[in-house]
Amino acid sequence: MGVDIVVLVLGVVLVIAVAAYAIRVRPRRAAGVEEAGREEPARARPGPEGLGARVRALFAGGAPGDAEWAGLEELLVRADVGPATATRIVKEVRERFAPGDDPRALIAEELVAILGRDHGLELPSDRLAVILVVGVNGSGKTTTIGKLAARLAAEGRTVSLAGGDTFRAAASEQLEVWAARAGAHLVAQERGADPAAVAFDAVTSAIARGVDVLIVDTAGRLHTRTPLMDELRKVRRVLEKAGGRPDEVLLVLDATTGQNGIAQAAAFAEAVEVTGVALTKLDGTAKGGIVLAVRERLGVPVKLIGTGEGIGDLETFDPHAFAERILGG
């Protein structure tokens, strides 16, 4: 009887010990199984800087599997490329990848393919060329206009600026400073005037003066504010009526904006037929991956790059240089 009790107690202790072991070990095993099943994206070892270096580190092991491709997608998303575009790039690169290939080079080719060929401004030279500049508050519209006016003037064109931002205090003074720096003529009205009326006057005066290029500044506006977007539609309509149909409608996008840039681009494109993006503030840490999604989703090319606050800090967009910039080291 005493022996039976000892055996029973030992048996119970053994069962409890086995159960405790199973409870502690099973979840770890389960996580291990998931890793082996490549549920989690692989992560590049910390160390290398720049997307390109991270991609190479990620693929350093040779034959990439699901984890590496998922890891690449994550790296692209973190570079602001946008989820849909990142998925597409990974799909294309994965299809083309052969053992021994440099994944960084394949990605660069894919980025260039999405960005398209170089798109300079398309301005007529036999009549007044008109550029309408739009975008959210503080994106860099007025600064970009100043730099662009200076560049066009340096190319030998006469330039006129229209102060279509009649809303913000000191907006026309800021444009006046840029007009003086660039050697451009300025058409402005008092604060609170109808921006469409300024646009009309500016076209009439530019035609009368025989000016080559008219650049129309507009007030910054949230793309979600319907009355403000309607006001922009009216500016465009009135420009056309006055005989100054815009040859280019430039959306100025701040490179630090991130994914909101897609919503901005979609709203402005719908309202005023955007023909190109001027991507500003690329002198900071932002890579500007957002323009890939804008290009792919809306078909709008990047035309100009802003790289600082100075009059010379404006570049024509070059897809190869831009792909290298996104990939970094």
Q: Which residues bind ligand GTP (CB under 6 A)?
A: 135, 137-143, 165, 168, 171, 220, 252, 280-281, 283, 306-309, 313
137 makes contact, choosing from ligand GTP, Mg ion, none, with CB < 5 to 8 Å by partner type, with ligand GTP
Distance CA 257, CA 275 (A): 20
Q: Which region, judged by CB under 5 A, interacts with Mg ion, from 36-44, 112-120, 137-145, 154-162?
A: 137-145
Check binding of 142 to Mg ion (CB under 5 A).
Answer: yes
Task: Answer positive or negative: Cα dihedral of 67, 288, 106, 87.
Answer: positive
Q: Which is nearer to Mg ion, 126 or 190 (CB)?
A: 190
Q: Which region, judged by CB under 5 A, interacts with Mg ion, from 22-30, 72-80, 138-146, 296-304?
A: 138-146
Q: How far is the CB of 142 from Mg ion (least distance, A)?
A: 3
Q: Which is nearer to ligand GTP, 42 or 304 (CB)?
A: 304
The bridge status of strand 314-316 relative to strand 302-306 is antiparallel
* Backbone torsions φ then ψ of 173, nearest 5 degrees: -65, -40
Q: Which is nearer to ligand GTP, 147 or 295 (CB)?
A: 147
Q: How far is the CB of 252 from Mg ion (least distance, A)?
A: 9
Distance CA 203, CA 187 (A): 9
Q: How far is the CB of 145 from Mg ion (least distance, A)?
A: 8
Of 205, 189, 123, whose CA–CA distance to 156 is shortest? Answer: 123
The bridge status of strand 302-306 relative to strand 276-280 is parallel
Q: How far is the CB of 57 from ligand GTP (least distance, A)?
A: 31
Q: How far is the CB of 59 from ligand GTP (least distance, A)?
A: 34
Instruction: Mark out the alpha helices in the chain (DSSP H runs).
Output: 2-36, 51-58, 66-78, 83-96, 103-115, 141-154, 171-182, 195-209, 226-241, 260-272, 290-298, 319-327
In the list 141, 185, 221, 236, the residue contacting Mg ion (rule: CB under 5 A) is 141
Q: List contacts with Mg ion (CB under 5 A).
A: 141-142
